[in-house]
């Protein structure tokens, strides 16, 4: 992460929107954008689509006092790390950001990202960052994909200019940084092919029956630059608050090959779901369970108020290490099963687990980490807010016969300050913490400092919030090691495990 506050010798006016600059990029910054500096005064420009060590023409999209954001217009001198992306939607789709970068270079850039974030946010002068652990597969590694329905399909400039596009229906991934626009995605290199087959069948089923797409409110049609496209006729698949279709979520099992299809709708419609299930199973026989989540709220989330199972058990199973896990439609499970095993081994190593340890697994989800390490410690307490995830965790423990684990559905902010909770559970000697992208609440960090376990392994999918939390934990803990693990090749995301030890009393 570059220092955007470096004082220039003489600052020129910030560039205007639409201005084109010739720039020499330095390195890849956060979210996969290249950082460059204006030659005259060092003014920072983040260039989307560029790589480090390139000479480019960039167009300014937005300029602030200390930096600007720009898009790549032309490559004058390419980086040696650049190569051709395999996906036809690359550059528009938000699913991948680094397909134009050789994988070895991606790993180097992600390690540097962790280092820079811990320097700037974590206030660590020399972060102890190891080399990033590479993924075994660069493509087709995701076991979960969430696709969105829309009748505002993202149009090319040529389609907008033609003015005669009729079919605006889309099922697929969002345009990068545009949550109101969906690409009608027919190929994707992130999941297994069966997920693409399900998506393409679902699209054909919806279009044939002219099923409506749910919208939380009126939307105006616009192109990627905001120009109105209201002159383009509306598709016959209408989008309104009475529309049925919301999301398509597909989960696959690396270990068993099971396939879950979860169609998220705005209301219960057994006739549509019955026909969909019958025809889907005929078209894609690999599907093992079909679920309908019904979300009647305005919030555009792929989680229903209730769900109905139309085929199979309503869950699939997968394995991480020696443990088998039941995965339901709305429970969390690591999206890259193979890399999750490597991630958890690092966490176990950093926690330095011992046979007499009392381990607390915070934000335990479906109990994947708890069960992965249960045979290495005396006992495990897993704490998670989502009750369905706890139900899965308990079923997983029972299925594999692990008896030294206990799972509790609770809000950590409340649990850790409740005397009854603390009196019911033995104090931890070690913690493994795996919070959501937003990191830990300050109240949780304060209570962890009071509990004062000897060792902490902190897993994060967002090194920025991890660095922030580690800086707060520095009151009572030393940071000894950082291990990036690449769970998501072709994206700028990186998981990281931090090794923390309680400070010794002076």
User: For residue range 174-212, what is the model confidence (pLDDT) as tens digits?
Assistant: 998 887 889 999 999 999 999 999 999 999 999 999 999
Q: Which of 319, 350, 376 is the last residue of a domain?
A: 319
In a domain, 428, yes or no: yes
Do 188 and 283 share a domain, yes or no?
yes
Do 358 and 489 share a domain, yes or no?
yes
Instruction: Give residue 234's pLDDT.
Output: 42
The alpha carbon torsion through 82, 83, 87, 89 (nearest 10 deg) reads 40
Beta strand ranges found along 38-66 (DSSP E): 44-48, 55-63
Please report the DSSP string for 243-296 in residue order: --EEEEEEEE-TTT--EEEEEEESS--HHHHHHHHHHHHHH-TT--EEEEEE--
Do 169 and 262 share a domain, yes or no?
yes
71-123: pLDDT as tens digits: 999 999 999 999 999 999 998 998 999 999 999 999 999 999 999 999 999 99
CATH code assigned at 175? 2.40.50.1070
**Are 291 and 316 a contacting pair, CB within 8 Å?**
no
Instruction: Give residue 216's pLDDT.
Output: 67
In a domain, 282, yes or no: yes
**Are 449 and 95 a contacting pair, CB within 8 Å?**
no
Do 149 and 129 share a domain, yes or no?
no
Say which range, 245-254, 294-303, 305-314, has the weakest mean pLDDT.
294-303
Do 160 and 304 share a domain, yes or no?
yes
In a domain, 107, yes or no: no
Instruction: Give residue 384's pLDDT.
Output: 95
Does the CA dihedral 326-327-329-330 come out positive or negative? positive
Query: Looking at the predicted structure, is the pLDDT value of residue 501 above 60?
Result: yes
CA distance 499 to 347: 8
- In sequence order, what are the beta bridge partners of 68? 45, 63
Q: Which two tokens stand for residue 467?
A: 């660095």
**Cβ-based neighbour number of residue 76 at 10 Å:** 11
Residue 122 buriedness (CB in 10 A; 0-12 / 13-18 / 19+): buried
In a domain, 328, yes or no: no
Do 187 and 294 share a domain, yes or no?
yes
**Block residue for tokens 């797409």:** 213
Residue 218: DSSP 8-state? -
Do 159 and 77 share a domain, yes or no?
no
Do 192 and 69 share a domain, yes or no?
no
**Confidence band for 224, pLDDT divided at 50, 70 and 90:** very low
Q: Which two tokens stand for residue 41?
A: 């005064």
Do 346 and 268 share a domain, yes or no?
no
295-305: pLDDT as tens digits: 999 888 888 99
| Catalytic residue status for 93 | no
Mean of all residue pLDDT scores within the chain: 90
Q: Which of 319, 354, 372 is the last residue of a domain?
A: 319
**Are 479 and 503 a contacting pair, CB within 8 Å?**
no
In a domain, 102, yes or no: no
Instruction: Give residue 7's pLDDT.
Output: 52
463-497: pLDDT as tens digits: 999 999 999 999 999 999 999 999 999 999 999 99
CATH code assigned at 16? 2.40.50.140
Do 417 and 442 share a domain, yes or no?
yes
Please report the DSSP string for 77-115 in residue order: E--TTB---S-TTTTTBSS-S-TTB-HHHHHHHHHHHHH
CATH code assigned at 381? 3.40.50.150
In a domain, 106, yes or no: no
Instruction: Give residue 396's pLDDT.
Output: 86
Residue 45 belongs to what domain range?
A: 1-81
CA 87-91-94 angle, to 5 degrees, is 90
Q: Which two tokens stand for residue 470?
A: 């580690």
Q: Which of 435, 409, 398, 249 is nearest to 324 (CA)?
A: 398
Which stretch of DSSP H or E encloses residue 463?
Answer: helix 463-473
Do 169 and 282 share a domain, yes or no?
yes
Instruction: Give residue 165's pLDDT.
Output: 67
In a domain, 325, yes or no: no
In a domain, 237, yes or no: yes
Query: Looking at the predicted structure, is the pLDDT value of residue 163 above 50?
Result: yes
Q: Count how many domains the chain has.
A: 3
Q: Which of 290, 319, 348 is the last residue of a domain?
A: 319
- Annotated catalytic residue within 93, 188, 461, 496: 461
Do 186 and 288 share a domain, yes or no?
yes
CA 216-217-221 angle, to 5 degrees, is 115
Q: Note the pTM of the prediction, 2 decimals.
A: 0.85
**Confidence band for 8, pLDDT divided at 50, 70 and 90:** very low
Instruction: Give residue 129's pLDDT.
Output: 98
């Amino acid at each position: 992460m570059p220092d955007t506050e470096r004082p220039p010798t003489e600052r020129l006016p910030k560039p205007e929107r639409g201005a084109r600059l010739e720039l020499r990029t330095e390195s890849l910054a956060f979210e996969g954008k290249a950082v460059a500096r204006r030659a005259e005064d060092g003014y920072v420009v983040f260039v989307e689509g560029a790589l480090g060590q390139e000479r480019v023409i960039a167009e300014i999209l937005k300029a602030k006092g200390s930096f600007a954001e720009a898009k790549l217009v032309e490559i004058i001198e390419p980086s040696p790390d650049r190569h051709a992306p395999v996906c036809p939607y690359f550059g528009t789709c938000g699913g991948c950001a680094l397909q134009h970068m050789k994988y070895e270079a991606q790993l180097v850039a992600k390690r540097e990202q962790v280092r820079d974030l811990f320097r700037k946010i974590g206030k660590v002068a020399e972060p102890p960052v190891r080399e990033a652990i590479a993924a075994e597969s660069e493509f087709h590694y995701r076991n979960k994909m969430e696709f969105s329905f829309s009748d505002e399909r993202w149009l090319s400039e040529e389609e907008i200019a033609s003015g005669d596009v009729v079919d605006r229906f889309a099922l697929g991934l969002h345009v990068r940084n545009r949550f109101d626009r969906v690409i009608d995605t027919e190929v994707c290199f992130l999941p297994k092919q069966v997920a693409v087959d399900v998506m393409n069948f679902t699209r054909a089923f919806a279009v044939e029956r002219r099923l409506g797409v749910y919208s939380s409110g009126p939307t105006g049609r616009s192109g990627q630059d905001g120009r109105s496209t209201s002159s383009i006729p509306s598709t016959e698949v209408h989008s309104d608050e009475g529309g049925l279709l919301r999301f398509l979520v597909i989960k696959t099992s690396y270990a068993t090959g099971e396939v879950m299809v979860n169609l998220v709708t705005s209301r219960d419609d057994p006739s549509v779901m019955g026909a969909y299930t019958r025809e889907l199973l005929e078209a894609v026989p690999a599907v093992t369970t079909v679920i309908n989540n019904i979300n009647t709220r305005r919030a555009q989330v792929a989680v229903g108020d209730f769900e109905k199972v139309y085929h199979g058990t309503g869950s699939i199973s997968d394995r991480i290490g020696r443990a088998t896990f039941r995965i339901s439609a709305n429970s969390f499970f690591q999206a890259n099963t193979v890399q999750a095993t490597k991630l958890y081994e690092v966490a176990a190593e950093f926690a330095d687990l011992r046979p007499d340890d009392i381990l607390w697994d915070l934000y335990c989800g479906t109990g994947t980490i708890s069960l992965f390490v249960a045979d290495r410690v005396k006992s495990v307490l897993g704490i998670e807010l989502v009750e369905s995830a706890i139900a899965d965790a308990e079923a997983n423990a029972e299925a594999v016969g692990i008896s030294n684990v206990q799972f509790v559905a609770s809000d950590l902010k409340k649990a850790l300050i409740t005397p009854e909770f603390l009196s019911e559970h033995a104090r931890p000697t070690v913690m493994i913490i795996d919070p959501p992208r937003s990191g830990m609440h300050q109240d949780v960090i304060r209570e962890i400092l009071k509990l004062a376990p000897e060792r902490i392994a902190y897993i994060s999918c967002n090194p920025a919030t991890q660095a922030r939390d580690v800086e707060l934990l520095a009151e009572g803990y030393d940071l000894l090691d950082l291990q990036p693990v690449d769970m998501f090749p072709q994206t700028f995301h990186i998981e990281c495990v931090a090794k923390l030890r309680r400070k010794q009393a002076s």
